Amino acid sequence: MIDFYTSTTPNGRKISIMLEEAEIPYNLIHLHLSKFDQRQDWYLKINPNGRIPTIVDRDNDDFAVFESGAILIYLAEKSGKFLPADVRGRSTVIQWLMFQMSGIGPMQGQAHVFFRYAPEKIEYAIGRYQRETKRLYTVLDTRLAENEYLGGDLYSIADMATYPWVALHNWAGVSIDDLENLRRWMTTVRRRPGVTRGMDIPKSKKENVGEAEKRGSSLLV
């Protein structure tokens, strides 16, 4: 059994999608970010970064894994699903997973912060992070012009990592209307039953974003 520590944010949704898609049994532990559950000492022992998501594998000597990309790889290897075994296929999926982890997540996360939450509207910061998010989406669009999924012909953990972020493009103030291939892929991924279930776990409840931001927490980063 997997203990899954998460909240209602895109990095958490990546893992709920994977657990649902791969049909891996898990216990859900919903952390309330606005109450700073993620900064408690007990939690820092399993996630030194004090953020969600984290898993603890009760069937592997309580092995803890933090960082959503590392969790996806761990679960793919454990289940034998959604990560090809051949060297090239595996590397291709990991390349697109890293592209999400190092590009889309951090850049779009900053677009959320400066566009939605920052008390001052700093045009330079808003423009910079929205433009960079759009540029990264354009890279996805080009990739998806010739490939059904990010890893190629097969749906993989790279798609699971990217979908919950692009699904929030409006929240970042970035349009995907002109990115036809990205929109086609969004529709295909959204229709998967595991994705529909995963995107609703845990159920959304309004976090006290304003209060949390004042205290230095980035709920959607």
Ligand X SMILES: N[C@@H](CCC(=O)N[C@@H](CS)C(=O)NCC(=O)O)C(=O)O
| Contacting residues toward ligand X, per CB under 6 A | 9-11, 33, 38, 51-53, 67-68, 217-221
Which strands make up the sheet holding 63-66, listed edge to edge? 26-30, 2-6, 54-57, 63-66
Choice between 102 and 142, CB closer to ligand X:
102
Choice between 152 and 169, CB closer to ligand X:
169
CA angle, 158 then 159 then 162, to 5°: 90
Nearest CA among 150, 160, 138, 140 for reference residue 10: 160
Choice between 142 and 205, CB closer to ligand X:
205
Question: Closest distance between ligand X and the C-beta of residue 60, in Å?
Answer: 19
Question: Closest distance between ligand X and the C-beta of residue 9, in Å?
Answer: 3
Nearest CA among 101, 81, 135, 116 for reference residue 11: 101
Residue 3 host element (H or E): strand 2-6
Question: Closest distance between ligand X and the C-beta of residue 145, in Å?
Answer: 27
The residue with its CB nearest to ligand X is 51
Question: Closest distance between ligand X and the C-beta of residue 107, in Å?
Answer: 13
Question: Closest distance between ligand X and the C-beta of residue 154, in Å?
Answer: 23
The first and second tokens of residue 152, run together, are 């190629």
Nearest CA among 151, 16, 136, 182 for reference residue 84: 151
- Within 10 angstroms of residue 85's Cβ, the number of other Cβ atoms is 8
Residue whose token pair is 């699971």 = 160
The first and second tokens of residue 50, run together, are 């004090």
Cα-Cα-Cα-Cα torsion 34, 35, 41, 46, nearest 10 degrees, comes to -50
Question: Closest distance between ligand X and the C-beta of residue 160, in Å?
Answer: 12
Choice between 145 and 210, CB closer to ligand X:
210
Choice between 98 and 145, CB closer to ligand X:
98
The first and second tokens of residue 202, run together, are 């845990």
